[in-house]
Amino acid sequence: MKILAFETSCDETSVAVVENGKNVLSNVISTQIDIHREYGGVVPEIASRHHIENIMPVFTEAMRQAKCSLDDIDYIAVTNTPGLIGSLLVGLMFAKSLSWANKIPLLPINHINGHIFSNFIENDIELPAVSLVVSGGHTNLYYIDEIDKEIKITLLGETLDDAVGETYDKIARVLRLPYPGGPEIDRLSKNGKDILQIKKPKVEEYNFSFSGIKTYITNYVNNEKMKGNTISKENVAKSLQEIVSEVLSEKVLKVMKNMKVNTILVSGGVSANGRLREKFREISEKENVKVIFPKLEYCTDNAAMIGCAAYYELKNKGMYLDNTEDNYKVDAISTKGE
């Protein structure tokens, strides 16, 4: 089964063709990072306009690389929430038009589900599993199990304030590093020392909080500046990497032990982080559990993960959707679950 997938929720225009939820025939990503860097973050209006310019060439290239025509496509999947409204609308309207004109059923997909299923691309996953999604807008912890041939995803916890990626990006701004801050901090930390005494946030159950860490580092940088001291960006970066990987892995370990889970899935833009990957590798060896990270191209926003999530949603429904009109009547934008 071939699914043509679209992802335009933020500043990446991406189109992919995914076969049977695992085999990525193409995954073309056009990123606008260089355009938004000038402003220190994503400007929604600019992002929407670039999606309009990019969607047609990206779609054409994805079909060319996958060596297929629309006749070969069984379903069209598209991110419909959460994200920037103008950006989402571009992908959604394009996908809807293709679906309607070619009578190919349309599947609306939640962006976070896309990140969860990015771990399933090219991997055989043993369930139950604990899934940690760490992106620019979300820090969510899930329990995933298969019951009666249906994959059930249960939200266990989430951030009560800032997301991890957001924390990286905001601290990078304080350090006057370019957007997006995550990869910059990851790179600088390699030459730094963990010198800041950042306290672990006290958050109940499986929830997270990162605003205290952000405030601590912001105050540290401002105080040192006022005293006329030079700051080692490398040391600040290293200290942030240590506290973040400690906080995230601690909660995952808690779920693993309480719920007797032996598979850990980590996904989302921040799952590209070097220290986080290293930390979970250590856990994998120490606890004898399987830890799965997506390939780097499936960590940050991409359409392959949307195609993969769509495949599993279909599987949950018994792989069945008829070609009645209802399949083309997808709500423009759902605001549920944001």
Footprint of Zn ion on this chain (CB under 5 A)?
135, 301
Window contacting ligand KG4 (CB under 6 A); options: 165-173, 214-222, 253-261, 303-311: 165-173
In the bound state with ligand KG4, the residue whose beta carbon lies nearer, of 14 and 99, is 14
Site for ligand KG4 in 269-308 (CB under 6 A): 269-270, 272-273, 300-301
- Rule CB under 6 A: say whether 181 interacts with ligand KG4: yes
Q: Is the preceding peptide bond at 294 cis, omega within 30 degrees of 0?
A: no
d(CA 101, CA 179): 39
Q: Tokens for 223?
A: 């105080």
In the bound state with ligand KG4, the residue whose beta carbon lies nearer, of 91 and 183, is 183
In the bound state with ligand KG4, the residue whose beta carbon lies nearer, of 8 and 99, is 8
Q: Which of 21, 108, 182, 307 binds ligand KG4 (CB under 6 A)?
A: 182
The DSSP annotation for 100-152 comes to HHHT--EEEEEHHHHHHHHTTTT-PPPSSEEEEEE-SS-EEEEEEEEETTEEE
Q: Tokens for 60?
A: 């054409």
Site string for ligand KG4, 105-144 (x = CB under 6 A): ------------------------------xxx-------
- Rule CB under 6 A: say whether 268 interacts with ligand KG4: yes
In the bound state with Zn ion, the residue whose beta carbon lies nearer, of 301 and 313, is 301
Which residue type is seen at 97? S
Closest-CA residue to 78 (of 58, 105, 103) = 105
Window contacting ligand KG4 (CB under 6 A); options: 88-96, 147-155, 178-186, 247-255: 178-186
In the bound state with Zn ion, the residue whose beta carbon lies nearer, of 140 and 249, is 140
Please tell me the chain's helix, strand, coil percentages from 3-state DSSP, rounded to the nearest 5.
45, 20, 35
Do 16 and 298 meet the contact criterion of CB atoms below 8 Å apart? Answer: no
- Rule CB under 6 A: say whether 76 interacts with ligand KG4: no
- Rule CB under 6 A: say whether 183 interacts with ligand KG4: yes
In the bound state with ligand KG4, the residue whose beta carbon lies nearer, of 18 and 84, is 84
> Choosing among Zn ion, ligand KG4, none, which partner's interface includes residue 272 (Cβ < 5 to 8 Å by kind)?
ligand KG4
d(CA 72, CA 62): 13
Non-local CB neighbours of 166 within 8 Å, separated by 6+ positions: 136, 137, 210
Non-local CB neighbours of 295 within 8 Å, separated by 6+ positions: 121, 122
Task: Kindly list the residues in this chain that would bind ligand KG4 in the complex (CB under 6 A).
Answer: 10, 135-137, 165, 168-169, 180-183, 186, 268-270, 272-273, 300-301
